[in-house]
Amino acid sequence: MKTRTLRLFLQTLLLLLCVAAFTRAQGRIVEPADIIVVHGHVYTENPKQPWAQAVAIYRGKIVAVGDDPEIERRRGMGTKVINAGGKLVLPGIVDCHVHFLDGSLSLGRVNLEGSKDPADIQKRLREYAAQRPGDDWILGRGWNYAMFGPEALPHKKYLDEIFPSRPVFLEGYDGHTYWANSKALVLAGITRDTPDPPNGTIVRDPKTGEATGALKESAQGLVAKIIPKPSRVEQLLALRAGMKWANEHGITRVHSAGQDFEALDLFDEMRHRGDLSVRMYIAYFLNPPELRPRDLDAIDHARKKFHDDWIDADAVKFMVDGVVESHTAAMLEPYSDDPSLKGKLFWEPANYKAAVAELDKHGLQLLTHAIGDYGVRTALDAYENAVTRNHKGDRRPRVEHIETIAASDIPRFSKLGVVASMQPLHSYPDSDTLEVWARNAGPDRASRAWAWKSISDAGGRLAFGSDWPVVTLNPWEGVQTAVTRQTSEGKPEAGFVPEQRLTVAEAIEGYTLGAAFAGRREKSEGSLEIGKLADLIILSQNIFDVNPHKIDATKVVTTIVGGRVVYQADTK
Other CB atoms within 10 A of residue 236 CB: 19
Using DSSP's 3-state secondary structure scheme, residue 31 falls into coil
- The pLDDT value recorded for residue 9 is 53
The secondary structure of 177-201, three-state, reads: EEEECHHHHHHCCCCCCCCCCCCEE
- The pLDDT value recorded for residue 324 is 96
Cα 219 to chain centroid distance, Å, stands at 25
Q: How many degrees, rounded to 5, is the angle at CA 404 between CA 402 and CA 405?
A: 90
Residue 164 DSSP label: S
Amino acid identity, position 416: L
Amino acid identity, position 506: E
Contact 562, 535 (CB under 8 A): yes
- The pLDDT value recorded for residue 114 is 84
Question: Tens digit of pLDDT per residue, the chain (572 long)?
Answer: 455 555 555 554 444 444 444 444 444 556 899 999 999 999 999 999 999 999 999 999 999 999 999 999 999 999 999 999 999 999 999 999 999 999 999 999 989 988 889 999 999 999 999 998 888 999 998 888 888 877 778 999 999 999 999 999 999 888 889 999 999 999 999 999 999 999 899 999 999 999 999 999 899 999 999 999 999 999 999 999 999 999 999 999 999 998 899 999 999 999 999 999 999 999 999 999 999 999 999 999 999 999 999 999 999 999 999 999 999 999 999 999 999 999 999 999 999 999 999 999 999 999 999 999 999 999 999 999 999 999 877 889 999 999 999 999 999 999 999 999 999 999 999 999 999 999 999 999 999 999 999 999 999 999 999 999 999 999 999 999 999 999 999 999 999 999 999 999 999 999 999 999 999 999 999 999 999 999 999 999 999 999 999 999 999 999 999 999 999 998 65
- The pLDDT value recorded for residue 166 is 95
Using DSSP's 3-state secondary structure scheme, residue 250 falls into coil
Other CB atoms within 10 A of residue 452 CB: 23
Q: Which CATH architecture has domain 100-224?
A: Roll (3.10)
- Asked if domains 100-224 and 233-526 share a fold, the reply is no
- CA 87 to CA 108: how far, in whole Å? 33
Q: Which of 40, 43, 63 is nearest to 53 (CA)?
A: 40
Contact 199, 218 (CB under 8 A): yes
| Predicted model pTM | 0.89
* Cα–Cα distance list, 110 to 127, 253, 306, 492, 496 (Å): 9, 26, 34, 30, 31
Taking the CA atoms of 45, 46, 51 and 56 in sequence, report the sign of the dihedral they define. negative
The secondary structure of 100-113, three-state, reads: HHHHHHHCCCEECC
Give yes or no for a cis peptide into 289 (omega within 30° of 0): yes
DSSP secondary structure string for all residues of 483-503: HH-S-TT--STT-SSGGG---
- CA 572 to CA 553: how far, in whole Å? 18
Residue 92 DSSP label: P
- CA 510 to CA 516: how far, in whole Å? 9
* Ranges of each domain in the chain: 100-224, 233-526
- The pLDDT value recorded for residue 523 is 97
CATH number of the domain located at residue range(s) 233-526 in this protein: 3.20.20.140
- The pLDDT value recorded for residue 21 is 46
- The pLDDT value recorded for residue 451 is 98
- CA 280 to CA 312: how far, in whole Å? 6
